[in-house]
Amino acid sequence: MEQSRKRAKPGRNPGSGSRTSRPRQAEVAQLAGVSQATVSLVLSARSDGKAATISEETRQRVLDAARSLGYAHDPAARRLAAARNNLLGVFSFTATFPTDVQHSYYPFLVGVEQEAAARGYDLVLFTGSSSGGAGAAGPDALSRVRLADGCLFLGRHAPGAELKRLVADGFPVVHLGRREELEGLAWVGADYVSASRAVVEHLAALGHRRIVLVREADDAPASADRQRGFLEGLAAVGGEAGPGAVLRCADPAGAVTAERVRALVADGVTAFVAEETDTGAAWRALDAAVREAGLSCPGDVSLGLLGSPPPDLAAAPVPTGFDVPRHQLGAAAVRLLAALVAGEEAQEPLVVCEFRTGATAGPPGRRP
């Protein structure tokens, strides 16, 4: 008998002092002298004024009974019956939970948590069940998220097929990060385009006309957006946007050498911008190359970073660029998800990145 695990005593005596099993609504009802249905109505009282059908007196009796019994909802039953249990899921496809503060998702999670708390939701965190987890293989991989009312997905590794399935089933899903290729998938993202353009415009205002973007050979939307913003900015300010304006390299450290930088500068380039990525490779390479080339910054060349520097380079000269408002992104994602759960059709705009003046940009040097 499995249920022996749930009810310690199959035949218990409800009146006696020593209880041994979690109370059900039925027991609360008995104690309050009402029906189970009434208990449910009282305890799930949605603040929607709609349910004025229980008298205040009865309400109090039920609440007292529930309190004295220490009643707590069974989340599984709640979800099964009503398709609502006030829980929001967060799924990250990393091997382990991204609770390590070093982890790049961490800042998002902080925002997610705050917003969820503010809206009265509890959170449940799922991970991509690294190796041999139960659902690791099959389409079950994502099925656990159905424990929650809706789910937020982090990271570009979220498999499209699975997500599509959830969406098709009408399960509320929000993806954190631009994800337009999946029809019907809700997402929130940072406005890298505008932010990148702003950096270019800042450099242009300082007098730069020949600016080069160093980016990795990744095709992530985030990279594409930055490049687009960069080119738009260049065009807007009448800068030179020839094919040489973008340095796309699979291995930034190998491609962006001191020599290369020196050559470009000699050719008239006065400023460089790098995209931010997980590894920060582009910025790292650019920084090293400039330094090694013996160029002073921002004396000889100006540098811009389309994002935030990696933690280990956060010190000293703060790069001119922008900050991705990760907390706000997380919060926006939760807002959107909450709206979907509530059946609304809300749409979250792109979240604006904040320009960071920094100390790596100045007027162009006076090299020929």
Partner DNA sequence: TCGCATTGGTAATGCGCATTACCTATGCGC
Partner DNA sequence: GCGCATAGGTAATGCGCATTACCAATGCGA
170, containing H or E segment: none
Angle between helical axes of 56-69 and 36-43 (0-180°, round to 10): 90
2 sits near DNA (criterion: CB under 7 A)? yes
Select from 24, 58, 59, 97 the one that contacts a second copy (CB under 8 A).
97
- Binding mask 282-311 toward a second copy (x if CB under 8 A, else -) reads ------------------------------
Within 4-43, the residues that bind a second copy by CB under 8 A are: 5-6, 8, 20-22
- Binding mask 332-351 toward a second copy (x if CB under 8 A, else -) reads -----------x--------
Select from 32, 90, 163, 203 the one that contacts a second copy (CB under 8 A).
90
- CA-closest candidate to residue 226, choices 204, 199, 207: 199
Segment interacting with a second copy (CB under 8 A) among 53-61, 125-133, 232-240, 246-254: 125-133
- Asked if 336 and 346 count as a contact pair (C-beta separation under 8 A), the reply is yes
Cα 74 from Cα 55, distance rounded (Å): 25
Select from 147, 167, 220, 224 the one that contacts a second copy (CB under 8 A).
147
Select from 8, 9, 35, 140 the one that contacts DNA (CB under 7 A).
35
Angle between helical axes of 192-206 and 221-236 (0-180°, round to 10): 40
* DSSP state string for 78-106: HHHHHS--SEEEEEE-SSS-TTSTTSTTH
- CA-closest candidate to residue 149, choices 80, 203, 224, 210: 80
Task: State the minimum distance, in angstroms, from the CB of residue 341 to DNA.
Answer: 13
> Which partner, a second copy, DNA, none, binds residue 53 by CB below 5 to 8 Å per kind?
DNA
- Asked if 268 and 301 count as a contact pair (C-beta separation under 8 A), the reply is no
Place of tokens 């389409």: 139
Nearer residue to DNA within complex by CB, 169 or 312: 169
74 sits near DNA (criterion: CB under 7 A)? yes
3 sits near a second copy (criterion: CB under 8 A)? yes
Place of tokens 């590894």: 279
51 sits near a second copy (criterion: CB under 8 A)? no
Token reading at 20 = 């041994």
50 sits near a second copy (criterion: CB under 8 A)? no
82 sits near DNA (criterion: CB under 7 A)? yes
30 sits near DNA (criterion: CB under 7 A)? no
Within 39-68, the residues that bind DNA by CB under 7 A are: 40-41, 43-44, 52-55, 57-58
State the pairing for strand pair 320-323/354-356.
Answer: antiparallel
38 sits near DNA (criterion: CB under 7 A)? yes
Cα 161 from Cα 130, distance rounded (Å): 18
> Which partner, a second copy, DNA, none, binds residue 37 by CB below 5 to 8 Å per kind?
DNA
Select from 12, 36, 123, 317 the one that contacts DNA (CB under 7 A).
36
- Asked if 233 and 201 count as a contact pair (C-beta separation under 8 A), the reply is yes
Cα 237 from Cα 198, distance rounded (Å): 11
125 sits near a second copy (criterion: CB under 8 A)? yes
Cα 262 from Cα 276, distance rounded (Å): 22
The binding site for DNA (CB under 7 A) comprises 1-3, 6-7, 24-26, 33-38, 40-41, 43-44, 52-55, 57-58, 71, 73-74, 77-78, 80-82, 84
